[in-house]
Structure formats: C-alpha cells, structure tokens
Amino acid sequence: MKKIRTVLLILFILIGIGFSYIQYKKSNVELSVIKYLTTEKNISNGDIISSEPFIANLQGDKKWMVSIKLKDDDKTYYYYKNKDKVVLESYVENGVERVQ
C-alpha cells in the first residue's frame, strides 16, 4: 500500500510540474506581448480588449502564442516571443488570415 501511495505522489508531482511549466510559458509570453505593445507600440492598456495565451500547433517559439484584440480594431493579432523579441505572426481580418 505504501508503494502505491509513493507512486501516486510521484505521478501527481510530475503532472503538476508539467502543468506549471505550461502555465508559466503562456503567462510569460502574454506579459511580454503586453509589455511590447504598451512600451514599443504606444498602445494603452485600456485599448487592449483581450489577450489570450494559447498553445498553437506550430513548432519552436511559435508554439506559445497570444491573441490580441484592440479597441476600435476588427483585426485579431497573433504574437509569439522569439527569444527576447516579440514577433507578430499573423492577423485575421474579415475572416481571412494574413501571415506576416
């Protein structure tokens, strides 16, 4: 019985580490994108309607992306972080995706 508890504890710890890593990556990219938009693109926090980090079906740094909606802008922008640089990957306008 004690072995089963130990195995379950180790399993829960490994699952927790994996979940924490995913949450950290998504949060880190989201904060970097918001900081980039507010400091380098001079967009106020109030103009950012939504920011949603997600895991994309892409490889490398593009796997961790953030979708951004801005006030008075119909486009949805998709950013990722390449090392220390934030990159606009694509945007959607009128249902059509345009890759940068």
pLDDT tens digits for the chain (100 residues)?
889 999 999 999 999 999 999 999 999 999 999 999 999 999 999 999 999 999 999 999 999 999 999 999 999 999 999 988 999 999 999 889 999 8
What pLDDT does 88 receive?
96
pTM of the predicted model, to two decimals? 0.88
Identify the pLDDT of residue 1: 84
| Whether the Cβ atoms of residue 29 and residue 62 lie closer than 8 Å to each other | no
pLDDT score, position 84: 87
CB-based contacts of 30: which residues, under 8 Å, 6+ apart? Answer: 51, 53, 66
**Residue whose structure tokens are 């992306």:** 65
- pLDDT, residue 100, reads 82
